[in-house]
């Protein structure tokens, strides 16, 4: 793919990656339809909830330290700002740093919507600069500013010339795309366009694109990279503008999830020749081995990778094999973003748990290297009949599926799906931390958490006996795609 950094906006996933957010079938069918181009998105005549790509962008940008985010929108669009403030402040403190990122909202009202709000935006940017020492100011748009056509580019350009720091326009209206993962691409695009500099030298750095968790596991990751005489730069949480400006000089880019890293990793590889490790994420045993060998190959240090793999196997493989005995005949349903869903499905296979339905929020027909995601194709020969559902965070569809499948356990990524499933009496493991299954030790701890839930179901059984689901028996008898058009 040719990456064009001269444009202010990135193409949405529905166009660029042929992404869809609805499907009901099996793995073989979704792969076949993806390859021949016949996979089509279905509209829903009923939708219970939605996630906004603008929130994804705001979340990613606000994780950068020492910047100011000006949200050019009504105040209600910034409802999650207190959450990010609390989370990233704590995250920075855990590694002995100060976050020092600030939010300002222009609070667009009805009058602004009719007559325009450029004057208000200019006053807000100036006041933000006066109040908060920052390395950069990001002007982010909401749906209203997109609808009325606010010209944030000219305002950003004016202040970039006027102020000694970059003022960066970010076009992230929520109505732009129905696939909220487009927000990751928008963030990557503006970082590449406005912050990253052309390389002058190579640095002993590995770019590690991830979401924002994993502080408990990062010491182990840091030790692994130290064995190769390199350091990880985690993107974007707790990074700085100065650090981001040099990611074109890194030795490689790796990721916790292909969905979040496809734009940045492939763009750095194409534009600046920074190798992008495109293998599936280092979760569990098999893919940790593949991942670390691919990094070692880039660094020409293959022997070190084999030493690490041997040490991890000796330490954790016997413990994992012992735990597997408890999972014989057990089943699971998974629901997460597409990268994590298929990763978890493979990891569950390593500990002997059968996946009844791999549910994801959307489906990317390809990544930015124009290839099908490896996370999906890895099952083509081993589990072609694995059931696959794409439900776009719709809880009514999720509960419909789980009520029919009746798994022994439910594995999820997002907490909003958790309460409904527990009311069915099914134990839940939430993978809030993207590094929760990292390598052999992560798999062992993940398996232990599942075993603990199997051994104590009193909470979910009490919830099942005393709580009522908000869905009727009629709905639970329908197919989950009943409302697709």
Residue 358 dihedral angles phi and psi, to the nearest 5°:
-100, 100
Q: What is the pLDDT of residues 55-81, one digit of tens each?
A: 999 999 999 999 999 999 999 988 888
State how far the Cα of 112 lies from the Cα of 482, in Å rounded to an integer: 41
Q: Where are the domains of the chain?
A: 51-177, 205-305, 326-477
- Burial grade of 133 (CB within 10 A; 0-12, 13-18, 19 or more): exposed
Give the angle 100-244-206 at the CA atoms, nearest 5°: 120
State how far the Cα of 77 lies from the Cα of 105, in Å rounded to an integer: 9
Tell me, what's the pLDDT at 432?
83
Tell me, what's the pLDDT at 214?
66
Tell me, what's the pLDDT at 94?
82
* pTM for the model: 0.95
Q: What is the pLDDT of residues 431-483, one digit of tens each?
A: 888 888 999 999 999 999 999 999 999 999 999 999 989 999 999 999 999 99
Q: What is the pLDDT of residues 393-443, one digit of tens each?
A: 999 999 999 999 999 999 998 888 888 999 999 999 998 888 889 999 999
**Among 412, 456, 459, 419, which Cα is nearest to 436's?**
412
DSSP β-bridge partners for residue 207: 233, 253
Domain 51-177 has CATH 3.40.50.720: no
Between 96 and 27, residue with greater pLDDT: 27
State how far the Cα of 322 lies from the Cα of 401, in Å rounded to an integer: 31
Tell me, what's the pLDDT at 93?
87
Q: What is the pLDDT of residues 215-263, one digit of tens each?
A: 667 888 899 999 999 999 999 999 999 999 999 999 999 998 999 999 9
Per DSSP, helices labelled H in 132-278 are 143-148, 152-162, 182-194, 218-227, 241-244, 258-272
Q: Angle at which helices 286-299 and 338-350 pack, to 10 degrees?
A: 110
Tell me, what's the pLDDT at 30?
96
Tell me, what's the pLDDT at 195?
97
Compute the mean pLDDT over every residue in the chain, rounded to the nearest whole number: 93
CATH topology match: 51-177 vs 205-305:
yes
The answer on pLDDT for 183 being more than 90 is yes
**Strand residue runs (E) in 63-173:** 68-72, 102-105, 137-141, 167-170
Name the CATH topology of 326-477: Rossmann fold (3.40.50)
Q: Tell me which CATH code domain 205-305 carries.
A: 3.40.50.1980
């Amino acid at each position: 793919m040719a990456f064009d950094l001269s444009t202010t906006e990135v193409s949405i996933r529905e166009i660029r990656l042929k992404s869809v957010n609805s499907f009901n079938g099996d793995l073989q069918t979704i792969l076949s339809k993806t390859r021949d181009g016949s996979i089509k998105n279905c509209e829903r005549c009923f939708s219970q909830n939605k996630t906004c790509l603008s929130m994804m962008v705001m979340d990613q940008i606000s994780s950068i330290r020492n910047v100011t985010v000006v949200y050019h929108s009504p105040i209600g669009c910034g409802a999650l700002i207190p959450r990010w403030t609390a989370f990233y402040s704590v995250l920075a403190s855990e590694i002995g740093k100060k976050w020092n990122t600030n939010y300002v909202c222009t609070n667009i009202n009805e009058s602004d919507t009719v007559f325009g709000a450029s004057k208000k935006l200019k006053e807000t940017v100036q006041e933000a600069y006066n109040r908060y020492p920052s390395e950069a100011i990001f002007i982010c748009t909401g749906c209203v500013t997109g609808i009325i056509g606010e010209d944030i580019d000219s305002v950003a350009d004016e202040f970039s010339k006027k102020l000694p720091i970059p003022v960066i326009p970010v076009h992230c209206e929520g109505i732009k795309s129905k696939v909220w993962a487009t927000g990751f691409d928008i963030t990557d695009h503006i970082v590449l366009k406005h912050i990253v500099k052309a390389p002058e030298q190579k640095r002993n750095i590995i770019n590690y694109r991830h979401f924002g968790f994993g502080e408990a596991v990062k010491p182990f990751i840091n030790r692994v990279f130290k064995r190769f005489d390199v350091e990880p730069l985690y993107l974007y949480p707790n990074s700085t503008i100065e650090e981001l400006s040099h990611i074109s000089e890194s030795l490689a880019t790796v990721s916790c999830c292909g969905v979040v890293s496809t734009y940045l990793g492939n763009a750095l590889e194409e534009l600046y020749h920074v190798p992008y490790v495109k293998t599936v994420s280092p979760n569990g045993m098999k893919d940790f081995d593949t991942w670390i060998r691919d990094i070692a190959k880039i660094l020409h240090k293959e022997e070190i990778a084999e030493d690490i793999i041997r040490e991890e196997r000796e330490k954790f493989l016997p413990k994992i094999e012992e735990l597997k005995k408890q999972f014989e005949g057990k089943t699971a349903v998974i629901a997460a973003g597409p990268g994590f869903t298929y990763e978890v499905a493979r990891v569950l296979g390593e500990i002997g748990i059968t996946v009844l339905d791999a549910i994801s929020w959307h489906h990317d027909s390809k990544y930015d290297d124009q290839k099908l995601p490896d996370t999906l194709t890895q099952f083509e020969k081993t589990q072609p009949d694995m059931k696959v559902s794409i439900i776009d965070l719709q809880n009514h569809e999720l509960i419909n599926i789980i009520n029919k499948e009746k798994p022994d356990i439910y594995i999820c990524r997002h907490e909003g799906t958790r309460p409904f499933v527990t009311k069915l009496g099914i134990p839940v493991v939430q993978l809030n931390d993207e590094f929760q299954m990292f390598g052999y030790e992560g798999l062992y701890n993940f398996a232990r958490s599942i075993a603990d839930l199997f051994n104590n179901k009193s909470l979910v059984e009490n919830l099942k006996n005393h709580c009522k689901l908000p869905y009727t028996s009629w709905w639970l008898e329908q197919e989950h795609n009943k409302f697709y058009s």
